[in-house]
A and B are shown apart, each in its own frame.
Chain A
Amino acid sequence: MQLWSRQIAAVLRLEMKKTFFSKRSWWIYCLAAMPVVITVLHWIIMSRVRNGFGDRHRLGDDSIIFAGLFQFFYLRAVIFFGCMGIFSNLFRGEMLEKTLHYYFLTPMRRELLVIGKYLAGLSVALVLFVGSTSLAFLTIARHFGSAWTDYLYHGPGMSQLGSYVLVATLACVGYGAVFLMCGLFFRNPMIPAAVVFVWENLNPFLPSVLKKISVIFYLRSLCPVEVPVPPPFSVMVIDADPTPMWLAVPGLLLLSMILLAYTAMSARQTEINYGE
């Protein structure tokens, strides 16, 4: 193994150990579990009351319910805040605990430290959020029994699951890069996080030019099921042409890489100042 890869591997493993198994991350686990809890409850409740709905409740309805849950709750709240908790703490948490200097005193390039920490955060985020996306999707319509199995294996189910996994992955990649940078630059990353949160949630109501300066716009373009916006919000929504997949995916990856490169270059200039 090359020197740089051994050093990245060491940071990755140490951070995984600290991030994955730390008590202070309990709320991120709860956050990741929430959609699964919701879909499991939906499955259980619908299994009991399904007879009362008769033919009115269709499998397609659950597909739209999941799409709504994914776009409005999962992407905008769970993954957003989960990534904020994981990535902004990678540097800011070390500064608060006054332990960042231990990393800076190792003979590794700061750029590699940024990459190692980012990969560690990304690994944790992917396991938690892609894992819970998949679990939530697989359980949302379990009450349809063999029809759901058929939908998954012979219908569009697996393709939709693949799309949701891709979107969740890209969300972790994109928001991860944003919040890693926030954690290095801002003493209180909650402030930029709040600004990004408002911006991302205003997205449907923004003019089409401004819409494109956000992560959620590209992620929504990749979602497999369109969610109709209910009135009265529907009248305020401004339509914009969705970005094609061939542009959205590399575009988001490129944006993330630019943010990471900037963070890495800035880490080289970062000084230890714990505010004492």
Chain B
Amino acid sequence: MSESLISFANVSRFYGEVLGINKVNLTIPPGVTSLVGPNGSGKTTLMNLMTGLIRPTQGEIKVLGISPEHPEQLCKFIGYCAQFDSCPKGLTGHQFIYWFLRMHAFTPEECQRRTATALERVSMTAAAHRPVGAYSKGMRQRIKLAQSIAHEPKVLVLDEPLNGLDPMARAETIALFREWGQNGRHVIVSSHILHEVDQISDQVILLSQGYVVAEGEIKGVRDEVKEQPMQILVRCNDPRELAARLFQQDHMVEAKISRDRKGLLLRTSDADSFYLLLNKVVLESGLEVESIAPADDDVNSVYQYLIGGDGGAV
């Protein structure tokens, strides 16, 4: 088992008779991975399992080769910003980060340095010495994030990390996730807001009712959804002519011309054949093609195909 991966081997978790997740087999490589699914799909259960806050009913989990059964080893390398909107009372933001760093057994000087760095990363230095209880929801979210990254974990697990953040803070936080992902760390994010997941993620894990329904790079996941016709948007000077020529083939399912009469949205059951055909048609007809782009290989579309429901904000 590689020591740079997070792996779930046939993992199930039940809460009494209620299913949390069932028979999950996953391998998560470094980079930014998003967990997507509706409420109750098992995202938080998956996160709690990999951080050792709960134990699996069956199966085996390894995080960088370490079992979550050994928090004294695992928690050196893992940071978790949980969904709970709560911080220890009676502490300032600085104390909150500092004292939990002391439990990592860093020296006081090292704790001070790391606390200052973490606060700076989430732009909370100015408010660091105010009590956490007096923070707004967005500030609490940021201080929680700072606390989870203060010990520079190799694996950062974030449950709905963008909740309560203003647009500026969201942009900064997304940039932070990207930076961490690019540095070869694991950043595992759950989010309901799919267009943000699209911006952040290198790979995605789609969950529904405790089962993993798809995993991998978003485009790869989309390619696996064979039964759903693929949507492709072609912008050209004569969409009507293009549609007429393309519809001579069996794999074309539907075509829509956009309002500006320059775009043609096509649905095809065979993308590879479609692209070959398109090349041929364009060469033969002399149409001027401005752009060709897949219209449904984002998380939102994949989510709708696989799980159903509204993909905008679940």
Report A's interface with B, CB cutoff 8 A. 3, 6-7, 10-11, 13-14, 17-18, 21-22, 94, 97-99, 101-110, 271-274
Contact = CB atoms under 8 A, between A and B. Distances in A.
B71 interface: yes
Contact of B75 (A10, A18, A107, A273): A107
Given A17-B90, A97-B86, A110-B71, A10 B99 contact: yes
Nearest to B76: A107
Interface string B76-114: 101110101011111100010001101111000000000
A273 B45 CA distance: 11
Nearest to A102: B100
B52 interface: yes
25 contacts: A6-B102, A6-B105, A10-B99, A14-B102, A14-B103, A17-B99, A18-B88, A18-B89, A21-B90, A22-B89, A94-B88, A98-B86, A99-B84, A101-B84, A102-B100, A103-B103, A104-B52, A105-B53, A105-B71, A105-B75, A107-B72, A107-B105, A108-B72, A109-B71, A272-B48
B89 A97 contact: yes
Contact of B54 (A13, A103, A273): A273
B203 interface: no
A98 B52 CA distance: 16
Nearest to B148: A105
Nearest to B103: A106
A14 B71 contact: no
Contact of A271 (B54, B79, B89): B54
A110 B55 CA distance: 15
A106 B53 contact: no
A105 B87 contact: no
A102 B71 contact: no
Nearest to A5: B105
**Interface of chain B: mostly helix, strand, loop or mixed:** loop
Contact of B102 (A3, A10, A18): A10
Nearest to A113: B103
A47 B80 CA distance: 63
B243 to A, nearest CB: 52
A106 B104 contact: yes
B147 interface: yes
A109 to B, nearest CB: 5
A107 B104 contact: yes
Nearest to A19: B90
Contacts of B74: 107
Contacts of A14: 99, 102-103
Given A10-B102, A13-B99, A272-B48, A104 B86 contact: no
Interface string B216-259: 00000000000000000000000000000000000000000000
Contacts of B52: 104
B2 interface: no
A106 B100 contact: yes
B55 A101 contact: no
B102 A22 contact: no
Nearest to B157: A105
Q: Which 5 A-B pairs have the closest CB atoms?
A: A10-B102, A106-B103, A107-B75, A98-B86, A272-B53
Contacts of A99: 84, 86-89
A40 to B, nearest CB: 30
A225 to B, nearest CB: 40
Most buried by A among B51, B53, B87: B53
A271 B90 CA distance: 25
Nearest to B52: A104
